[in-house]
Chain A
């Protein structure tokens, strides 16, 4: 008898593993009968997983963590046994703003943030309104990327910027109509905005952080505890989907699957544009982009604190361990022959080149891990000399 599982997703390219596993039968190979449910917003995903209407979902990495920090509706714990890849978002600004940056030769993120600071000051001096930026959800990596970028240029994100939460489907229109000056969204929305001429991509995730954590598989804690074998099957199916999706020869088919009406439902050229070189930098590699690093969880929680969304009075290590579950990843990944990292945390940033990660049976060659501002986030205490 096959186990029945209900999984929700949002129409974004980074739902790739979840939809590919259905389209190519990876769930069925693990003996799972998975029903996918495309949801119109993140609040639905949060609530339906909380109330057991869904067993799990494609989630912003910050969503289960916000729950762990006691933010938002309080029903139920959510665990994350794997990441669904890395990167995939882009920041889009109005053509007017982009022209200002280009005039000033502001090519890097640091330069564009500094140029934006001047725009804000100029606007204030002539009595124009503040800069308005849109994000899809308050507790989102998008929000933290935008704030980190602004702050690097000397902008106070709380006082000098107006924030609005908008569905990605409405962001391009708001930008075109001058309601907002820019937005951060998952692909293919930034590429669609660009193709329609509503705005221009300023930077994408890898420009900010070469291997930025973004989405996770979020599972209802109680359900996961009661169905350990199904959880293993699910993670294995998604890891196999990741192995398939990161093969160079499968990229055209990947774009075609994603573009289908029942999945992302977007023009294939926009999906393709985001996936191709110079696009949104989505990495789907099973070995290097799906491990649920506790250091990712802690980096995100650090952002919650930094921006005043929560207090410092939490046991962040305990929350990270109860939400992110590298033990479940190792169990599933070991069965399909992946190398298993020896540690649960690593330095985030500080690797401008590829580097070797200690793992068994063999070490893993990791892609560069570098933040645009050269920052290094270290949650593990340094080994005594």
Chain B
């Protein structure tokens, strides 16, 4: 079993490879990863199955092989029945497509494609969490700085400054970070006016 993963995202490709190997049925699989598809090198690997990220612009080059060459990997959708169409559909939704050499065991194809789709979704989840953590951190820093501005300008304690901002946020139906951002930009404006 020879699988080629084409994905510009290295971390995600590693996650997919790990997922495939975690299944006892595919423990022996030889997995290659290319960030982009290279037609000239395809013969060196001679994969049974190619998994490609939908965001890869190279997908059309790979897709064209099915017209040019009978021996080339074919898109899964070409020979699977309606049952497997669900697997393909879920995979596309997760952002991944697969090609297999015609006649390759359909059940193995479906199980590997399912794993790939799950790992793509998992990566998406991790990235979303990471983005949220990053923006939370930025928001907290903004709120801390705005608190500092209020403490100096109004001569209140840290706790009071926080309560003032929270009340304003609730009254105006906006987030604490948005209110803090306003305070900072107004403070910046006043400061530059002094100069």
Is B85 part of the contact surface with A, judged by Cβ < 8 Å? yes
Give chain A's interface residue range (CB within 8 Å of chain B). 20 to 34
Q: Are A169 and B77 in contact, CB atoms less than 8 angstroms apart?
A: no
Q: How far is the CB of B77 from chain A (nearest CB, A)?
A: 4
Q: Are B92 and A167 in contact, CB atoms less than 8 angstroms apart?
A: no
Identify which of residues 26-76 in chain B touch chain A, using a CB-to-CB cut-off of 8 Å: 39, 54-61, 63-64, 66-68, 75
Identify which of residues 75-131 in chain B touch chain A, using a CB-to-CB cut-off of 8 Å: 75, 77-78, 85, 88-89, 92-93, 97
Q: How many residues of B contact A (CB 8 A)?
A: 23
Is A165 part of the contact surface with B, judged by Cβ < 8 Å? yes
Of the candidates B57, B64, B85, which one forms a contact with A75 in the assembled complex, judged by CB atoms under 8 Å apart? B85
- In chain A, what residue has the closest Cβ to B59? A41
Given contacts A43-B97, A51-B88, A53-B92, contact A136 B77 (CB under 8 A): no
Q: Are B61 and A165 in contact, CB atoms less than 8 angstroms apart?
A: yes
Of the candidates A51, A74, A163, A170, which one forms a contact with B78 in the assembled complex, judged by CB atoms under 8 Å apart? A74
- In chain B, what residue has the closest Cβ to A168? B57
The B interface, classified by DSSP as helix, strand, loop or mixed, is helix
| A50 proximity list for chain B (CB < 8 A) | 77
Is A3 part of the contact surface with B, judged by Cβ < 8 Å? no
Of the candidates B60, B75, B92, which one forms a contact with A48 in the assembled complex, judged by CB atoms under 8 Å apart? B92
Q: How far is the CB of A290 from chain B (nearest CB, A)?
A: 26
Given contacts A74-B78, A75-B85, A164-B39, contact A44 B59 (CB under 8 A): yes
Is A166 part of the contact surface with B, judged by Cβ < 8 Å? yes
Q: Are A51 and B56 in contact, CB atoms less than 8 angstroms apart?
A: no
Q: Are A51 and B92 in contact, CB atoms less than 8 angstroms apart?
A: yes
Complex Cα distance, B39 from A40, in Å, reads 18
Q: Are A41 and B60 in contact, CB atoms less than 8 angstroms apart?
A: yes
| A345 proximity list for chain B (CB < 8 A) | none
| A163 proximity list for chain B (CB < 8 A) | 68
Complex Cα distance, B58 from A170, in Å, reads 9
Q: Are B60 and A136 in contact, CB atoms less than 8 angstroms apart?
A: yes
Is A27 part of the contact surface with B, judged by Cβ < 8 Å? no
Is A108 part of the contact surface with B, judged by Cβ < 8 Å? no
Complex Cα distance, B66 from A91, in Å, reads 25
Q: How far is the CB of A138 from chain B (nearest CB, A)?
A: 5
Q: Are B77 and A75 in contact, CB atoms less than 8 angstroms apart?
A: yes
Of the candidates A43, A51, A169, which one forms a contact with B59 in the assembled complex, judged by CB atoms under 8 Å apart? A43
| B57 proximity list for chain A (CB < 8 A) | 40-41, 167, 169-170
| B55 proximity list for chain A (CB < 8 A) | 40
| A47 proximity list for chain B (CB < 8 A) | 75, 77, 88, 92, 97
Q: Are A40 and B92 in contact, CB atoms less than 8 angstroms apart?
A: no
| B93 proximity list for chain A (CB < 8 A) | 53
Of the candidates A73, A164, A166, A169, which one forms a contact with B75 in the assembled complex, judged by CB atoms under 8 Å apart? A73
Residues of B within 8 A of A (CB): 39, 54-61, 63-64, 66-68, 75, 77-78, 85, 88-89, 92-93, 97
List 17 A–B pairs whose Cβ atoms lie within 8 Å, in order of A's numbering. A40-B55, A40-B56, A43-B60, A44-B59, A44-B97, A47-B75, A50-B77, A52-B89, A72-B66, A73-B78, A74-B77, A136-B60, A163-B68, A164-B39, A165-B63, A167-B57, A167-B58
Residues of A within 8 A of B (CB): 39-44, 47-48, 50-53, 71-75, 136-138, 163-167, 169-170, 309
